[in-house]
Amino acid sequence: MNKVASCYDFVSTAWEDCKLHPGSQVRKCIYTAPVPPDIPAFAKRLLNVPDQVSGCTVWRLNGTSQELLLLQHSYTRDVLYGDRFKVQSTMHFSEENSGVTIRQWIEIVWEKPLPWTHGMVRHFIDTKARQDTMDSAGDMVQCLKDAVAALDLECVQ
């Protein structure tokens, strides 16, 4: 998150057993994130978007020796209507042939609808979240490769 999205001031919990989904582990992270520079001025004014926002991400991880499923919920309450939705990202890692295949899905989960007059805002949020996820997918894969390489070096030493 720091490397790809320039987030900072992280406060994280340790991984712990998930009470709602036995066999899963959960972790929560609160952080500060700069608002992307490509947010149109009209959207910033309409949603009262500051230059930086407080974010929260919760991960749930479960799997077997052949596959892992990582579910991520991210949200911020620092923008207008930020209490009405969360970004849900699902990453599926599976062992295939001599490597690992990663598949990712992204969706906006609307917990409370927007006023009917704000359809354009909903469309903007949906589109922006999908585009940002696609734009950062390669960076995410590289971060994972770097982490695995670092673990391999630790195991050798």
Return the domain boundaries, the chain: 2-156
| pTM listed for this prediction | 0.82
Lowest mean pLDDT among 49-53, 102-106, 127-131, 136-140: 136-140
The pLDDT of residue 152 is: 64
User: Do the bridges between strand 16-17 and strand 25-34 make them parallel or antiparallel, or are there none, so unpaired?
Assistant: antiparallel
**32, amino acid identity:** T
pLDDT tens by residue, 29-48: 999 999 888 887 877 887 77
In Å, the largest CA–CA distance within the chain is 60
Task: Please name the residues in contact with 103: beta carbons below 8 A apart, sequence gap of 6 or more.
Answer: 91, 92, 94
Q: Over the range 50-76, which residues count as b (16 or more CB within 10 Å of their CB) and which as e? A: eeebebebbbbbbeeeeebebbbebbb
Local confidence band at 142 (pLDDT 50, 70, 90 cut-offs): confident
CA atoms within 13 A on the CB side of 63: 16
The pLDDT of residue 156 is: 54
pLDDT tens by residue, 64-115: 888 999 999 999 888 888 899 999 999 999 988 888 888 988 899 999 998 8
Q: What are phi and psi of 79, to 5 degrees?
A: -120, 155
The pLDDT of residue 147 is: 72
Residue 33, token pair as written in the block: 């994130």
Residue 148, token pair as written in the block: 């695995």
